[in-house]
Structure 1
Amino acid sequence: MENFIWDYNSSDYFGHYSTDLSQISSESSPCYPESLEINTYVVVIIYALVSLLSLLGNSLVMMVVLHSRSTCSVTDVYLLNLAIADLLFALTLPFWAASKMIGWIFGTFMCKIISFLKEVNFYSSILLLACISVDRYLAIVHATRTVIQKRHLVKFVCLAVWAVSLFLSLPMLLFRSTVYLLDLPLVCYEDIGSSTTRWRLVLRILPQFWGFILPLLIMLFCYGCTLRTLFKAQMGQKHRAMRVIFAVVLVFLLCWLPYNLVLLADTLMRTGLIEETCERRDHIDRALEATEILGFLHSCLNPIIYAFIGQKFRYGLLKIMAAYGLISKEFLPKEARPSFAGSSSGNTSTTL
């Protein structure tokens, strides 16, 4: 294996390992990336902060939505499920932080479960955002009351999103395992025997299309049409009501689009469409690490968006605090929007 390129990056535990472990020869001459150990403690601190902020923020979101379930809109139901997905992911970050420091010491079972939860979070997040974009498109562009706005049907839509996310994440349960790589610590890695390299490309391309590219195209179409309608009709109030939704989608794209673009470049290199060199492999590995950390930040950002932009979310939180005597009722505003996501459309009102 004269041209073998050693592509293991000890800081990445989620998906861009693709070396066929069974084919590593003792006579191979790999090129090693520069050590990133200097950044280890910084990354672990970021993981810890993101985990704490996400647990706190998304718990508050769930509490506010459930406390105000009688006035929740369809969008609020989707955002509740989005908070649940982010909360589940936050619970996995301590494991990745520990693995970053000392390798994967939690065994194969936890390797499968933790990897599975991370994948479910990613797919459910973008699919829920796609559902929100379709709901906004139908409510504003077509100005119609859609059938999915009925309470029981909204629940079925959310269940379908979770089912698709679970299905797309199944490879993590089936193929993830703890693997020894030469003298390096244990890693949580796909192990499909002699076909690892080939199958990893298949398992990467198909979910990336169905779980990212297709929902992204749906969102771009729906929000493109929605914005055009809002500006043409000069619907100022509804335009303001969309600020939270646009902010949520924009933050998701800013957090996860860079990682997926780098992952695409990595896939093109592994399929031979881009020449693979030691220098290019090192650059892509570094980019994957940096953009993945950016993706992790997403799980704690949505509650911050709601707090700064969502008037009803702030009202709901203050109302709960007043009910428990944490603040005076005098601090409560006299009026609040019907949806903590900022929706002012009567066509989208429903209950949980």
Structure 2
Amino acid sequence: MGEINWDNFSFDDIFGDDSNYSYSTGMPSVLSDSAPCRPESLEINKNIIITIYALVFLLSLLGNSLVMLVILYNRISRSVTDVYLLNLAMADLLFALTLPIWAASKKNGWTYGTPLCKVVSLLKEVNFYSGILLLACISVDRYLAIVHATRTLIQKRHLVKFICLGIWALSLFLSLPIFLFRKAFTPPNSGPVCYEDIGNNTTKCRLVLRILPQTFGFILPLLVMLFCYGFTLRTLFEAHMGQKHKAMRVIFAVVLVFLLCWLPYNLVLVTDTLMRVGVIQESCERRNDIGRALAVTEILGFLHSCLNPLIYAFIGQKFRHGLLRIMATHGLISKDFLAKDGRPSFVGSSSGNTSTTL
């Protein structure tokens, strides 16, 4: 990467005096001839953030482990959608393992060196991209199953494994800019940070590194989901298929929660990009507003890793029954209690074994 040129370093690249983790986005300032804007500190108690991260870590570790256990245990009834949800739980679990490190960095600054900085940043990006790509694949699966009643692709469940491998590979590729340019260093008058060091790359190069992942890793999958679920819902309502609509509640809830958690952060990133390329007029006040918005919305994104298991527990009747069945098999609860819970009715789709066990 080379040495950092501190003469050209401005504090608008670091989010506040008290920020130990940079929420900045690696884009160049378009106010190069003006005095640098010194961002205002975000008034959020670090202990509150650390507590939130700790709770998310514990809930995610427990919840996603149980989700993976239930799906892997139900081999016979495992569907295409279940395979996607299994990979989604894996992504959330891997990211959750980095939360103690993020929490510690909030307290003491980034004291863990460049290699760990690259790894945890990579896992965060891979978690986001794999999440939205997996949800896009689920939407296509539901679209084919319900709108077109297609059997050919979705019944060949071995193909799903290759699709999932492709999603992981694409997520890694989209996350490469963060992995390549993140490093640990200590700027003047600030604590150590884990931050992008772009070096002397041009504005055009920086724009490409921002826009390509946003386009292929967020905007396009989002459009695919809107298209597929739009036609899927229309088909369900037109055909008055109440049972199938009920069976889709879990999937719709998962998609909705993902968007509620990650859409605000990505909209702020898009706004930041538009500001830095001159589409939106830049000012110190606007920069500070975007910096604060990035800080808050990223915390919201971090929360997502523990929410899917809660959705399955409260909405997914089959998930609850599957978990209770595992507990009864190992003597943790009585079989009478399992019988009282009842066996949920199997609601399939017109394409065969594509109904989720969650």
Normalising by structure 1, report the TM-score. Answer: 0.91
- Aligned residues with identical type, % of pairs: 69
CA distance in 1 between partners of 2:202 and 2:189 (Å): 20
SS of the aligned residue for 1:144 comes to coil
- 1:164 matched to 2:164? The reply is no
Q: Which residue of 2 aligns with 1:349?
A: 353
- Larger proportion of helix: 1
After superposition, what is the alpha-carbon deviation per residue over 1:253-310, rounded to whole angstroms, capped at 9, x for unaligned?
Answer: 1111111111111111111111111111111111111111111111100000000111
Q: Which residue of 1 aligns with 2:324?
A: 318
- 1:334 matched to 2:342? The reply is yes
Pick closer, same or farther for the CA change 1:299–1:305 going to 2, 3 Å. Answer: same
Q: Which moved more, 1:167-176 or 1:79-88?
A: 167-176
- 1:309 matched to 2:315? The reply is yes
Pick closer, same or farther for the CA change 1:348–1:183 going to 2, 3 Å. Answer: farther
Q: Which residue of 2 aligns with 1:180?
A: 186
Count the aligned residue pairs: 345
Q: Which residue of 2 aligns with 1:232?
A: 238
Equivalent of 2:49, from 40, 43, 57?
A: 43
CA distance in 1 between partners of 2:231 and 2:54 (Å): 40
CA distance in 2 between partners of 1:146 and 1:46 (Å): 45
Contact 1:311-1:337 within 8 A present in 2 as well: no
**Matched AA of 1:72:** R
- 1:16 matched to 2:24? The reply is yes
Normalising by structure 2, report the TM-score. Answer: 0.90
Contact 1:85-1:120 within 8 A present in 2 as well: yes
**Matched AA of 1:253:** L
Q: Which residue of 2 aligns with 1:252?
A: 258
SS of the aligned residue for 1:213 comes to helix
After superposition, what is the alpha-carbon deviation per residue over 1:314-342, rounded to whole angstroms, capped at 9, x for unaligned?
Answer: 0011011111211111122332244xxxx
Equivalent of 2:136, from 112, 130, 135?
A: 130
SS of the aligned residue for 1:285 comes to helix
CA distance in 1 between partners of 2:109 and 2:58 (Å): 22
- 1:284 matched to 2:253? The reply is no
Equivalent of 2:161, from 155, 158, 165?
A: 155
Q: What does 1:78-227 correspond to in 2, within 5 Å?
A: 78-195=84-201, 199-227=205-233
User: What runs of 5+ residues in structure 1 fail to find an aligned partner?
Assistant: none
Q: Once the 2 structures are TM-superposed, how far is the Cα of residue 133 of structure 1 from its aligned partner?
A: 0.1
Q: Which moved more, 1:222-231 or 1:11-20?
A: 11-20
**Matched AA of 1:263:** L
Q: Once the 2 structures are TM-superposed, how far is the Cα of residue 16 of structure 1 from its aligned partner?
A: 2.8
- 1:272 matched to 2:278? The reply is yes
Pick closer, same or farther for the CA change 1:142–1:14 going to 2, 3 Å. Answer: farther
**Matched AA of 1:209:** T
Q: CA RMSD in A?
A: 2.6
CA distance in 1 between partners of 2:152 and 2:299 (Å): 38
User: What runs of 5+ residues in structure 2 fail to find an aligned partner?
Assistant: 1-6
**Matched AA of 1:212:** F
Contact 1:18-1:197 within 8 A present in 2 as well: no
